[in-house]
Amino acid sequence: MAATTKPAKKTTKGPKKPKEILKPKLSKAQAAKKAGKRTERNVVKQVGGEKNGGTRRVAVKRAPRFYPTEEKSWKLRKHVKPFSQHKRYVRSSITPGTVLILLAGKHKGKRVVFLKQLGSGLLLVTGPFHLNGCPLRRINQIYVIATKTKLDVSAVKLPDRLNDEYFRRKQLKKPKHTEGEIFDTKKEVYAVSEERKKDQVEVDTQVLSVIRAHKDKKLLFGYLGAMFSLKTKDYPHRMTF
Has this prediction a pTM greater than 0.85? no
Q: What is the pLDDT of residue 236?
A: 84
Q: What domain range includes position 190?
A: 98-238
Say what the pLDDT of residue 169 is.
81
When the pLDDT of each residue in the chain is averaged and rounded to a whole number, the result is 83
User: How many domains would you assign to the chain?
Assistant: 1
Beta bridge partners, 98, equal 150
Domain presence at residue 144: yes
Q: Is residue 106 part of a domain?
A: yes
pLDDT of amino acid 94: 95
Residue 82 lies inside a defined structural domain of this protein: no
Q: 179 Cβ partners below 8 Å, 6+ apart? A: none
Residue 234 inside a domain? The answer is yes
Residue 20 lies in a domain: no
For residue 8, name the pLDDT band (cuts at 50, 70, 90).
low
**Lowest pLDDT segment from 46-50, 194-198, 235-239:** 46-50
Asked whether residue 74 is assigned to any structural domain, the reply reads no
CA distance 12 to 126: 89
- Please check whether residue 160 lies inside any domain of the structure: yes
Give residues with Cβ within 8 angstroms of 209, minimum separation 6: none
Q: Sorting pLDDT into bands at 50, 70 and 90, what band is 23?
A: low
pLDDT (tens digit per residue) in 197-217: 999 999 999 999 999 999 999
Domain membership flag for residue 183? yes
Residue 91 and residue 109: Cα distance in Å, rounded?
20
Residue range 29-36: mean pLDDT, rounded? 70
Q: Answer whether 147's CB lies under 8 Å from 241's CB.
A: yes
Backbone phi, psi, residue 137, to 5°: -155, 165
